Amino acid sequence: MKKIGLLLLLFPVLGSCQNMNSKTMEIKQIKNMENASNTAILAAGCFWCVEAPLLLLDGVDTVVSGYIGGHVANPNYAQVSAGNTGHAEAVMIKFDPSKISYDGLLEAFFLVHDPTQLNRQGNDIGTQYRSAIFPLDEEQEKKARYYIEKLNEAKAYDEAIVTTIEKATEFYKAEDYHQNYYALNPNEMYCRLVIKPKMDKFKKVFADKLK
């Protein structure tokens, strides 16, 4: 179980998604090494559940849902959902470093999901739903490792964190209908039962950091 208060004190500065019908649409490959100073790539289960809350943060400009970390080029949603591509559902975040830091995004990342669940988040099960950080440079990697180390030392969770730190390979933008999913489909059952409770909790915890 998450100990929210402890998490916030530690770093003050620093249904099932796969059951949805897949659609055939063009996947865009994104070169992600262009600017590590204002870009982060994080995986925390179903990307709909990550995109929506992170977009609320002041300083976050865009959040793109996509796929990363696998061995299949130009994957589609059906392939990734089958769990055989090695890819994780992830988000690419573009942010303004003058308003929010990479550390601040890590703080939000660890609060928006349960990093102690191995290859799953709730009823979304499979390696495609793994908790993972994809650093874009050495500095991001150091911060990610330090953050995980300190959270484990402080026993911020009842179980050990299983979040992996993986090489940032190519990021493939997911199909258009996945982008801004919660905002466009608030009445979908998954949105109402899974994402909305996460959003409500996120808004309370980060009330002073929202747009």
Active site residue 46: yes
pTM above 0.85, yes or no: yes
The per-residue DSSP string of 84-123 comes to -S--EEEEEEEE-TTT--HHHHHHHHHHHS-TTSTTEETT
What is the rounded distance in angstroms from the CA atom of residue 44 to the CA atom of residue 110? 9
Angle, CA 37 vertex, CA 152 and CA 143 arms, to 5°: 15
Determine phi and psi for 138, rounding to 5 degrees: -65, -35
What is the rounded distance in angstroms from the CA atom of residue 114 to the CA atom of residue 165? 16
Edge-to-edge strand list for the sheet holding 171-173? 28-30, 171-173, 60-68, 88-95, 39-44, 131-133, 164-165
Q: Letter for the amino acid at 173?
A: K
Domain parsing of the chain, residue ranges: 27-197
Residue 15 has pLDDT above 90, yes or no: no
Residue 35's pLDDT band (cuts 50, 70, 90): confident
pLDDT tens digits along 119-152? 999 999 999 999 999 999 999 999 999 999 999 9
Question: Which of 26-30, 40-44, 97-101, 123-127 is predicted least confidently?
Answer: 26-30
What is the rounded distance in angstroms from the CA atom of residue 110 to the CA atom of residue 51? 14
Residue 5 has pLDDT above 90, yes or no: no
Of these residues, 17, 46, 49, 191, which one is catalytic?
Answer: 46
What is the rounded distance in angstroms from the CA atom of residue 47 to the CA atom of residue 77? 11
Closest listed residue to residue 17, CA positions, set 162, 173, 125:
125
CATH code: domain 27-197 is: 3.30.1060.10
